[in-house]
Chain A
Amino acid sequence: MTDLAFGLTMTVIGMGVTLLTLYLLTLVIRLLNRLYPFKEEKKRS
């Protein structure tokens, strides 16, 4: 494998996986926010 092929492989897979992973995390966060929405704590009397 030439250096150019190595660099392009790293760029395409590296950037692609990083982007996909972070996108997956955004979906996970949305799901968590839906499952456990923020509720104001009730004031203790």
Chain B
Amino acid sequence: MEVFLSALASLTQGFANLSWQGVFMIALACVLLYLGIGKKIEPLLLVPIGFGVILGNLPLANMSAHDEGGVINLLYEGGILTELFPVLLFIGLGAMIDFGPMLGNPIVLIFGAAGQFGIFLTLLLALAIGFPREQAVSIAVIGAMDGPTAIYVTSKLARELLPAVSIAAYSYMSLVPIIQPPIMRAMTTKKERATLMAISEKKVSQKVKILFPIVAAIITILIAPMGAPLMGMLMFGNLMRESGVLKRLVDVSEGALANVVTLFLGLTIGASMLGGNFLKWQTLLVFLLGLVAISLDTVTGMLLGKLMRVLTKGKINPLIGAAGTSAFPMSSRVVQKEGQRANPRNFLLWHAIGANTGGQIGSVMAAAVMLAIMAGMGI
């Protein structure tokens, strides 16, 4: 009878060790799964993250990212803490991006810098609130609107914030069509939004397309070597794409590789969201500051757009400025939609995509420069 009771007791250990935080996180995971499966919002990320949260928060399962020796822990230590997953994702990203619109109209690259200003303003805000410097930088990088970059920087500087920062970065990326339009409308008059831009799909030679990733990698890495893993892989992926001789590798990079890494990344990040360390006011602040960062990126991009409109005597539609972020291609689509709403004859997509790819380079550059300055300060 005693043996029977102890056997029964061992089977109830899981229930007995379930904390209220664990239950809350499992409920939250169900919401993520519903959004991913039911509403089809970023299913590639939300489904693995949601299920990872469930696995990580079930007691005694040894499936959280922090359970040493567990399967997920292996992925966490090998892929996240070593920064391998975000770096591998950048190869796929480079293989997917066509820099053609930017190469045909290089001035739009400047919008990619203006779109990063929100990162730095949010850094000041996070420091003022009282976040330590490493955490403040990690939170500010949410404004890069670039999941892999945010994960890369946070895994270097503030691993304790990794779950909150990565969820915020990916969530806000998918919410760009909701976050940006009200800011765009508030900052411009209908006349400004209706500004027609010349449709000049300037073609670029294949030699330029091949040489750009090589030269860009050399220049940017020489300036900020700390960003070499991200910039190097982004440009390598793009070189493979433009070279025209590595079709099989390009197919793998933008397909299987990116998918496998996204799967492991999502599952692992989800399994690192444990109730005890996620359910804090700090997490809420991270989300709020991330939203501020993304909004400020849009504001500063639009301000540059307005300035450019004045300088070019009305040849540039200020909405283009909102695309100078890393949310590719969501920001471009939003710009196109808002432009056409103000003037049905407007076709801003080509210009917006140029600014958007500039934002991709700008966000990596901003993160690399921040890491380089931190390293220079001995932090």
Output the least CB separation between B319 and chain A (Å): 20
Partner of A22, one of B123, B362, B370: B362
> Is the contact region of chain A dominated by helix, strand, or loop, or is it mixed?
helix
Contact A24 B219 (CB under 8 A): yes
User: Which single residue of chain B is at the shortest CB-CB distance from A16?
Assistant: B369
Contact A10 B110 (CB under 8 A): no
* B93 close to chain A: CB less than 8 A: no
Output the least CB separation between B93 and chain A (Å): 18
**Surface stretch bound by A, among B208-216, B286-294, B325-333:** B208-216
Partner of A29, one of B109, B223, B369: B109
Within 8 A of B (CB), among A3-23: 3-4, 6-11, 13-15, 17-19, 21-23
Partner of B365, one of A3, A8, A22, A33: A22
Contact A32 B212 (CB under 8 A): yes
Question: In the complex, what distance in Å separates the CA atom of A1 from the CA atom of B117?
Answer: 22
Question: In the complex, what distance in Å separates the CA atom of A9 from the CA atom of B103?
Answer: 32
Contact B205 A37 (CB under 8 A): yes
Output the least CB separation between A25 and chain B (Å): 6
Partner of A38, one of B106, B137, B205, B224: B205
Residue-by-residue, is B106-134 near A (CB-CB < 8 Å gives 1, otherwise 0)?
A: 11011011001101110110011000010
- A15, A18, A33, A37 interface centre (most CB from chain B within 10 Å): A18
Question: In the complex, what distance in Å separates the CA atom of A10 from the CA atom of B157?
Answer: 15
Partner of B358, one of A7, A13, A22, A37: A22
B residues less than 8 Å from A37 (CB atoms) = 205
Partner of A15, one of B120, B127, B219: B120
Residue-by-residue, is B202-234 near A (CB-CB < 8 Å gives 1, otherwise 0)?
A: 111101100110011001100110000000000
Partner of A10, one of B215, B216, B373: B373
A residues less than 8 Å from B102 (CB atoms) = 29
Output the least CB separation between B198 and chain A (Å): 17
Question: In the complex, what distance in Å separates the CA atom of A28 from the CA atom of B223?
Answer: 15
Contact status of A32 and B223, CB under 8 A, knowing A21-B365, A26-B109: no
Output the least CB separation between A39 and chain B (Å): 7
Question: In the complex, what distance in Å separates the CA atom of A32 from the CA atom of B137?
Answer: 35
Contact status of A32 and B215, CB under 8 A, knowing A11-B120, A11-B123, A25-B109: yes
Question: In the complex, what distance in Å separates the CA atom of A6 from the CA atom of B153?
Answer: 18
* B258 close to chain A: CB less than 8 A: no
Contact status of A9 and B120, CB under 8 A, knowing A17-B223, A19-B113, A33-B208: no
Contact B106 A14 (CB under 8 A): no
Question: In the complex, what distance in Å separates the CA atom of A1 from the CA atom of B216?
Answer: 34
Partner of B216, one of A8, A14, A25, A38: A25
Contact A32 B373 (CB under 8 A): no
B residues less than 8 Å from A28 (CB atoms) = 212, 215-216, 219
Which 10 residue pairs across A and B have the least CB separation, nearest first?
A29-B106, A11-B120, A36-B207, A26-B106, A19-B113, A7-B124, A38-B203, A3-B127, A32-B208, A22-B113
Interface residues of B (CB under 8 A from A): 102-103, 106-107, 109-110, 112-113, 116-117, 119-121, 123-124, 127-128, 133, 136-137, 202-205, 207-208, 211-212, 215-216, 219-220, 223-224, 358, 361-362, 365-366, 369-370, 373, 377
Between-chain CB contacts (< 8 Å), 29 pairs: A4-B124, A7-B123, A7-B124, A8-B124, A10-B137, A10-B370, A10-B373, A13-B369, A14-B119, A14-B120, A15-B366, A17-B223, A18-B116, A18-B365, A18-B369, A19-B110, A21-B223, A21-B224, A22-B113, A26-B109, A26-B110, A28-B215, A28-B216, A29-B212, A32-B212, A33-B205, A36-B208, A38-B202, A39-B205
